[in-house]
Structure 1
């Protein structure tokens, strides 16, 4: 555990080193909240509700998903492909900590670097967007659990995508496709309950909805009562499936390690 925490701290500090890129991502976050709020207000066009969902709840959903996506974003890729191309993976394999554990801890450390600025940006985000208190006491307690599950699902997906580089060396093409699919089917832009029936059915069978829609739906009361336990159970199931799949892929990938670029 101590070694994994060290990996996380290292990536946390690395993320804070690039201050211009770090801060510009939050400027873009605030711009996205503003634009989504404008779009949804235009979509409602003065109507109090659409399909039983009020404008206030919809703008709160847009604000919440944009904020939390700084932690669970498909744009944050795994560093594995770069390390494979540069030959640094050889050094990683010599460390007394498993390679997937190193990479996963590093990814979590990088993602946690978003927390300080999220705290600072929160008042501005609520000013240009909208905010609501948790729909219920149960929702308030369940939301942090759902958010933690979302982070783990997203990081496991990133780990799997990164390990593709052991076969291809380059994953930029796969990453472009992944970013589009992940952001759309996660419900980060359009909630699942507004998607057409067939598209919604596909989204519910994919792991991406566990990264954005699930925590937001729990917080805003779109999932209530026993539905909260079911939603958290689905997240847990995806964590188990993706973890097992990552272990299987690594068992094959480690036999393909080569000293590339080093």
Structure 2
């Protein structure tokens, strides 16, 4: 049965190849975004060597890595699920001999692999040529970061799946999906590192899963997180991954009992 799920990864990867031109242009767009943030932070730092514990070099690397990591973990699983609920095709998915939610996760992973190989890696090379990004030389840092990046994908996909499933209850969750996207980009630390938020807000955000998507992995990658705290940071990602399984299971269990098909 597991081989069937792996086929979903392969099929989604091949489907993304049909739209690879979009991702080539996306490399340029992301490079422009990174460039804009780079010059913005240069202006903010001015003559200062560090702000909120970030040196200028760390901030440059953080911006580049955060945006390129977003290329990997980003997906539209919430929109796919919501569309299938609205047009009624989810009913066909439910009678098939596999886990609907697990299939969605595998499809998202196939898309993520495509984005990593044809978007994130070449995009990072381009950015390193354009801006003074300092990549770590320690192999263990790279390995830990890749593990944390995988959990970033899992946690972000879980939030997307949970958002998409709410279409069972509100029928049109377009506004919820837009709000979710803004919250993930803002509270995960892509736009502004969490260390720059006011104390009371950063305290609240420590109890939310968003920091585990971008801020924690990028902080480890840039060397901001001390080596003796890396295990705890990775453990926090694992806790959020396991913790999000419960609301997904509850919403999915409740949603299947009230499914009605709108399409025809």
TM-score bracket, shorter-length normalisation = over 0.9
**Cα distance change, pair 216–135 in 1 and its aligned pair in 2 (3 A):** farther
**Structure 1 counterpart of 2:182, from 168, 180, 183:** 180
In the other structure, the counterpart of 2:44 is 43
Shift of 1:15: 2.5
Shift of 1:11: 2.2
**Structure 2 counterpart of 1:139, from 138, 141, 149:** 141
Q: Is the CA contact (8 Å cut-off) linking 2:75 and 2:112 kept in structure 1? A: no
In the other structure, the counterpart of 2:6 is 5
**Could you say what secondary structure the match of 1:69 adopts?**
helix
| Structure-2 separation of matches of 1:76 and 1:124 | 28
Q: Is the CA contact (8 Å cut-off) linking 2:152 and 2:212 kept in structure 1? A: yes
Please report the TM-score for the alignment, with normalisation by the length of structure 2: 0.92
Equivalent pairs counted in the alignment come to 262
In the other structure, the counterpart of 2:251 is 249
**Cα distance change, pair 76–83 in 1 and its aligned pair in 2 (3 A):** closer
**Structure 2 counterpart of 1:218, from 209, 217, 220:** 220
Shift of 1:138: 4.3
Please report the TM-score for the alignment, with normalisation by the length of structure 1: 0.93
In the other structure, the counterpart of 2:164 is 162
Q: Is the CA contact (8 Å cut-off) linking 1:74 and 1:182 kept in structure 2? A: no
Moved more, 225-234 or 2-11: 2-11
What is the correspondence of 1:1-262 to structure 2 with a 5 Å cutoff? 1-73=2-74, 77-117=78-118, 118-134=120-136, 136=138, 138-262=140-264
Structure 1, unpaired ranges of 5+: none
**Cα distance change, pair 6–75 in 1 and its aligned pair in 2 (3 A):** closer
| Structure-2 separation of matches of 1:76 and 1:221 | 32
Task: Give the RMSD, CA atoms, in angstroms.
Answer: 1.9
| Structure-2 separation of matches of 1:74 and 1:105 | 12
Shift of 1:52: 4.1
Structure 2, unpaired ranges of 5+: none
Q: Is the CA contact (8 Å cut-off) linking 1:74 and 1:178 kept in structure 2? A: no
